[in-house]
Homo-oligomer: A and B are copies of this chain.
Amino acid sequence: MREKSETLPKATAKRLPLYLRYLNMLNDSGVQRIKSNEFSEITQVPSATIRRDFSHLGELGRSGYGYDVPYLIEVFDRILNTEEEKRIALVGFGNLGKALKHNNFRRNANLNIVCVFDNDPAIAGKEIEGVMVYPMDRFSEIVEKEGIKVAISTVPSKYSQSAIDEIVKGGITAILNFAPDRVSVPPHVHMQYIDLTTELQTLIYFDENYSQVFSSK
């Protein structure tokens, strides 16, 4: 079997986690085989796109037979390297930070928030709700000791740039940022913004202007 993940188009790569999520749901429901048009209905991705995406990954299915669900999961798990534990630092332990820490990406047992930082003097250096909260000046030291590769920032826009600067200084290259205002990072750092206001505005616009169903992603 060919696996060409190193040459995956970015648009394909961006859809892999979504595909994997629905494949796991199908597998949990006992579905062993799926055709691209059925998978299209579930994922809301056009079936031609699905077939093209899967074709980049090698010979995963046969015409008229469909795709083998457990096998797809195996391949996608390998490509996405989901078996390896991803150790995550959470920066900002307000309500949103607490929600993320307590939920801790339950659907993927290998995504783990292993330490929490906040500069608020009311909580920094203390154990809050069973979680040790470190001040940011210990970020580099702890991140190195804990082997952390990913950070999530829930720090509000006002303090976002200085928090991100500390995160980058600690050698982290993958950051999920809940403050939507753009911050400066070196070109080797991957920053993903979660912008809930924009998501909500888009939803409302479609609700007001399109009568048919609009699928988000």
Contact = CB atoms under 8 A, between A and B. Distances in A.
Interface of A: 5-6, 8, 10, 13-14, 16-18, 20-21, 25, 42, 79-82, 86, 88, 94-96, 98-100, 102-103, 105, 107-108, 111, 149-150, 152, 173-176, 180-182, 187-214, 216-217
B105 A196 contact: yes
A182 to B, nearest CB: 8
B6 A209 contact: yes
A173 B108 contact: no
B174 A204 contact: yes
A182 B176 CA distance: 23
A35 B100 CA distance: 39
A204 B107 CA distance: 16
A214 B198 contact: no
Contacts of A191: 216
B80 A201 contact: yes
A174 B176 CA distance: 26
A152 B197 CA distance: 12
A112 B127 CA distance: 34
Contacts of A193: 216-217
B217 A190 contact: no
Contacts of A14: 202
A86 B211 CA distance: 18
Which of A10, A149, A201, A211 has the most chain B CB within a 10 Å cutoff? A201
A42 B193 CA distance: 14
Contacts of A209: 5-6, 8, 13
Contacts of A95: 95-96, 98-99, 102
A14 B199 CA distance: 9
Nearest to A42: B182
